[in-house]
Structure 1
Amino acid sequence: MDRKKTYLIDMDGVLVHGRRAIPGAVEFIQRLIDGGHRYLVLTNNSRYTPTDLQHRLQSAGFKIDPNHIYSSALAAAAFVKSQLPNGSAYVIGDTGLYQALADVGYTFTDYNPDYVILGETDSYPYDKIIRATRLISSGVPFIATNPDPSGPSEMGLEPACGAVAALIEKATGFSPYFVGKPNPLMMRTALRFLDEHSENTVMIGDRMDTDIKVGLESGLETILVLTGVTQPEMIGKFPYRPSRVVNSVAEIEP
């Protein structure tokens, strides 16, 4: 008997736009649950804790446990813990990133930190960007949660972590190490969390440059949905293709 497929599902642009569920997404998650499929909501958004994200999804009509949510903030925290336990960091980010780092024993400082870590936030104070730039220029390693230059919201596209990382890189000449998608590190961590293998796993996302790329490089089946950043005419600009393209998750039958 074939094993049931496991699903790694991007959040923004796939399940929700801001706080609104994408039509058919609530029913799709329920089909996974009813069918006994394992799944993980895998998001590059580092702003929120899993509990925060659960509440956001719940307000949109989803029934998803925090243990089914894994963010680039958690991936970044796991990474620095594996590299330098109980270290310190200068952080530009929001609650999700600070909490994830604190939970693995990291402290926060702007004086001689072990890392500069950049994540998502609703505003990027210029004085913090200047401080990060000076620390990185002095030799402090630079980590960023995700390379997404923009992300969907209820009001349309807005700048994201990757755009600010590019600004700092341009100023310093130092590239960040991106922990989130499309780094396969995040996928391996997610698969270990689920105790699953790549050949039995499907990646569903709205971005060719992160979701589909990381799924391909991790050996997963990939499904691109057209409810987020990527539009049909953009697909041909990439040298790789998703396994399937659908209008939305409403069309996916597990």
Structure 2
Amino acid sequence: MQAFIIDLDGTLFRGTEMIPGADLFIQQLRERKLPFLLMTNNSTRTAAEVARHMQGMGIPAEETDVFTSAQAAAQYWDEEQQGKRVFVIGETGLREALKDRGFELVDEAPDVVIQGIDRKFDYEKLTAAVRHIRAGAKSIITNPDHLLPSDGGFLPGAGSIAAAIERATGVQPVVIGKPSPIIMRYAMARLGAAADRTLVVGDNCVTDIGGGAAAGCRTALMLTGLATVSNWREHAEAAGVQPDLVCHGLDELLHKAMSIESIS
């Protein structure tokens, strides 16, 4: 049975507006009992908040459908079992994910620095992170995105903050979110799906298509967000990946995905 790992912003919605057909697409996946997970690199919101955001647009998403880079980062460090003391640079989604795993959020002597997007990031936080890592704390980032789309243009992302910390410490962090295969492996485990039975869907050639390919999954590029009819070939070439499917809309995606399933 085909399983789906589906990107959110640019694939199911843009900001606060649902991409046409997203509600019906999720409904059809449920009706056909096709397993799926809604994956986001954004670590600012909890899974419940992400689900409510989509519900407000009419997309029938539930908290259990959502998997965030914050949850994946917390899972990774939990499995590493190298200490419970965490210095966090991030917002509610990351902090709550770590608390849910039983970690102690501290300002001094942490075992690890876990960093996501933080819209209140400042020199004081940078200094603290650098000192902790240089003193031996491990370094983890939720996702490497350098820019985030917004209504007013692009904003610096978690990867931009990470670049400053890495430059000052000389320590390369463990990357959890797309295109890292770490978050992809966790997602497939949650779905109970093998890589060759999983289709990764998204609008970003670097994170979505690159991450899916790195994990050995089939991929579907949506021309509904970052990738468009006019630029997708250029994006794919720059990312060094080629999607298995290219779709203009979600109705086309489901039709093509089922066609692949019938001959695989």
* TM-score of the pair, normalised by structure 2: 0.89
Q: What's the CA shift string for 1:184-224, capped at 9, x where partnerless? A: 12111111111111111100012212211121121211011
What amino acid is the match of 1:222?
A: T
Q: Which residue is 1:67 aligned to?
A: 64
The Cα shift of 1:91 comes to 0.3
Q: Which residue is 1:143 aligned to?
A: 140
- Structure 1 residue 98 and structure 2 residue 95: aligned? yes
- Distance of 1:125 and 1:61 partners within structure 2: 37
The Cα shift of 1:93 comes to 0.6
What 5-or-longer segments of structure 2 have no aligned partner? Answer: 259-264
CA contact (8 A) 1:86 1:104 kept: no
Structure scoring higher RCO (CA < 8 A, sep ≥ 6) equals 1
The equivalent position to 2:220 in structure 1, one of 219, 223, 228, is 223
What amino acid is the match of 2:99?
A: A
- Give the number of equivalent residue pairs: 251
- Distance of 2:7 and 2:83 partners within structure 1: 30
- Distance of 2:24 and 2:153 partners within structure 1: 24
Q: What's the CA shift string for 1:52-106, capped at 9, x where partnerless? A: 1111011111111111111111111111111126611110111111111111110
The equivalent position to 1:199 in structure 2, one of 182, 196, 199, is 196
CA contact (8 A) 2:176 2:182 kept: yes
What amino acid is the match of 2:199?
A: V
Structure 1 residues 53-64: aligned runs within 5 Å: 53-64=50-61
Structure 1 residues 24-103: aligned runs within 5 Å: 24-84=21-81, 87-103=84-100
Q: What's the CA shift string for 1:1-22, capped at 9, x where partnerless? A: xx3x211001122112222212
Q: Which residue is 1:238 aligned to?
A: 239
Q: Which residue is 1:114 aligned to?
A: 111
- Distance of 2:101 and 2:29 partners within structure 1: 31
Q: Which residue is 1:11 aligned to?
A: 8
User: CA RMSD of the aligned region, Å?
Assistant: 1.6
Q: Which residue is 2:166 aligned to?
A: 169
- Distance of 2:153 and 2:172 partners within structure 1: 28
What amino acid is the match of 1:13?
A: G
What 5-or-longer segments of structure 1 have no aligned partner? Answer: none
* TM-score of the pair, normalised by structure 1: 0.92
What amino acid is the match of 1:80?
A: W
Return 231-240 or 168-177, whichever deviates more. 231-240
What amino acid is the match of 1:219?
A: G
Return 210-219 or 240-249, whichever deviates more. 240-249
The Cα shift of 1:252 comes to 1.3
Return 59-68 or 125-134, whichever deviates more. 125-134
- SS of 1:26's equivalent in the other structure is helix
